Structure 1
Amino acid sequence: MTESLALNLTRCPWCGTDPVYVAYHDTEWGVPEYDSRALWEKLILDGFQAGLAWITILRKRDTFRAAFDGFEPAVIARYGPDKVEALMQDTGIVRNRAKIVATIGNAQAYLEMQAAGIDFSRHLWSFVGGAPIVNRLESMADARVTSPEAEAMSKDLKKRGFRFVGPTIVYAFMQACGLVDDHMTGCFRHGQATAGTPGVPGTQS
Structure 2
Amino acid sequence: MESRKDIVRCSWVSNDPLYVEYHDEEWGIPVYNNQKLFQMLCLEGQQAGLSWITILKKRQKYNELFHDFDPYKIILLKETDIQTFLTNTGIVRHKGKIEAIINNARCYIEMQEKGVDFSDFIWKFVDDKPIINNWNLIQEVPSETEISKNLSNSLKKQGFKYVGSTICYSFMQACGLVNDHIVNCICRNKT
Mapped to 2, the partners of 1:86 and 1:140 lie a distance apart of 39
Contact 1:32 1:193 in 2 (8 A): no
Partners of 1:115 and 1:42 lie apart in 2 by 21
* Aligned amino acid, residue 193 of structure 1: K
Instruction: Identify the residue that residue 96 of structure 2 maps to in structure 1.
Output: 98
Superposed, which structure 2 residues align to 1:27-176 within 5 Å?
A: 27-176=25-174
Q: Which amino acid aligns with 1:54?
A: W
Structure 2: runs of 5+ lacking an equivalent: none
Cα deviation, 1:138-190, whole Å, max 9, x if unaligned, reads 10220110111111100000000000000000000000000000000111211
Q: Which runs of 5+ in 1 are unaligned?
A: 195-205
TM-score between both structures, scaled by the size of structure 1: 0.89
TM-score normalized by the length of structure 2: 0.96
Query: Which residue in the other structure is 2:176 paired with?
Result: 178
CA distance in structure 2 between the partners assigned to 1:61 and 1:123 by the alignment: 24
Task: Give how far 1:82 is off.
Answer: 0.8
Match of 1:202 in 2: none
| Cα RMSD, aligned residues only | 1.4
User: How many aligned residue pairs are there?
Assistant: 190
Deviates more, 1:77-86 or 1:112-121: 77-86
Cα 1:7–1:33 shift into 2, 3 Å: farther
Say yes or no: does 1:193 pair with 2:190.
yes
Structure 1 residue 93 displacement after superposition: 0.7
Letter in 2 for 1:40: F
